[in-house]
A and B are shown apart, each in its own frame.
Chain A
Amino acid sequence: MLKDYVPPYNATVVQKLLDQGAVLMGKTNMDEFAMGSGSTDSAFGPVRNPWSYSASYTEQTGAAPDSDWVVSGGSSGGSAAAVASLTSYLALGSDTGGSTRNPAALCGIVALKPTYGLLSRHGLIPLVNSMDVPGILTRTARDAAIVLDILQGQDMRDSTTVPAPSSPTELPEDFDVKNICIGIPKEYHAPGLSDETLAQWSRVADMFERAGARVEQVSLPHTQYSIVCYHVLCQAEVASNMARFDGLEYGHRSKVDASTEAMYATTRHEGFNDVVRRRILCGNYFLLKQNYQNYFVKAQKVRRLITDDFKRVFSSGIDVLLTPSTLTDATRYHDFIQEDNRTRSAQEDVFTQPVNMAGLPAVSVPTALSRLGLPIGLQLIGPALQDKKLLSVAHWIEQRVGFPSIRDFEDSSERRNEIGVTKTKQTSAV
């Protein structure tokens, strides 16, 4: 739909970076209109996880990258791949249901989903206006903190933004975990959770305990309804947000011009892939007068219950929640596409989307490699506007887990030239 569209203005977050002297290296690939959790449904083809070409993966599994490569996660897979392959120190993504944290976990980098309203959405093509946030993908938590400082703040052009809380830029080097209480939500022991991810979860929880933090089990009882609720609200908003793509003012326009209706219909059929079209049709169904109460309004009510779950937990002494980011490490592309987009999204988003429903900040931090040599990440969730604190805790974890850096695939030299990734230690931008 937007193949030949060049936007005539800069998004607020982009402009802020440019004003600070950032150099825009390029735009990255993603699932079309941010719908997906694998970055496999794009007009430009799927995104390959850089770890597919790493020594850890190829050596552990004997896999041939060109046929056995793994997905990068999604929908901001391209951005995660850019940072993970050391092409860039920073990439922006969008996070509506986990679209930034999911690929970050699968690509072994840090991702911050800021509190809703902290970063301006002016210029972010909307998926679900009430849940979208621009996401920050970096190599380390400290980098994320620097970027957050620049990007956060009220924007007149976005009526849903809030003033940024005042906090020091630098993350403390010696964050004292003795003062914090980590919550482990029991409902996040989801079916399909790999034993390795579970092990990492326990490992980091134990780390906290040994260091003197309080670690407690908590309950978020409405978690099980979250994914369905998310789908209803997401699709309803999608149907609404996509209504503007009619080929009239910009973007792809079909050659059919028998009537305005015919032009609209063909333009939208040609311009959207079937994932997008499916969501639009579902969304319109939910918004019909006869269905509105039963679907949309009910979902909003359930959303409030989910938000209240978090509120209750955070007001009972818990500072941060620790959960997995994804069910497993990255899946092979050929296995991934065996299930359709809808099913995959429902499965993969289970840990990440309740956070979007509640508008809370969350960080994904890589902790270790799996037995396949692929990254595993864990998620930290905090109360609203406590993004900095969250990053401090993430930094604490980073300092202690010893996550390895990505190394190139040591094979024939022609391979090396193709990929052009050089051996480096995992460094931060500063």
Chain B
Amino acid sequence: MASTKKEEVKLIGFWSSPYSRKVEIALQLKGIKYQYLEEHDLKNNKSPELLKYNPVHKKVPVLIHNGRPVVESLVILEYIDETWTQEPALLPSDPYERAMVRFWCKFIDDKFSPAVRKYLSLGPETDGENARTEAQECLKFLENELKGKKYFGGETIGMIDIVAIGLAFWQRTLQEITDKDLMNKQDFPLLCAWAEELLSCSVISDNLPPKDKFISLIRSRREAAAATSK
């Protein structure tokens, strides 16, 4: 049902941040109009708006709804789903199904992403076997979750799909740059098919960072990290 009262929705984000992009995808899936505010220098010069609306963590994304901020991407996604109740529902209505969605979203953020990032950030001279095994164990859990489903959300994109988007672009691109074998079609056919399916949706592909620009950013960060560690 369309709201008749004045709605002002703003999002403070950063072009390469997966957390920021996840919120944009959710807003666009629901057809919510918003004003996007890009943070230009997150590292050295955070904007007064960011410091005002997220004084605790000083991070993006920050959703500002009628002047009131909501921060932390998982919190924002649930807030979006509860405030704008039109389709698609990001979470199911059954309490047990909702608990499962929350569990997998937390798993992706707290255990899965750090494990994958750890492995992909290891230099070529480091023995990454343990890190790779840990990352692949995490991938196996998600591969299992996809059995018999097009998306984690079933027939439509849901909150887990949005939270897992890192796999389809960020981690995938990192894999390419580092030439590391992590998520491959042989071991993870369902996850690979899911990633292709997601990328074929315009609401997803329109909201990903430009690939060349992203690759340049990652390369320059890795060079800077290598220089400081020498």
The answer to whether A binds B is no
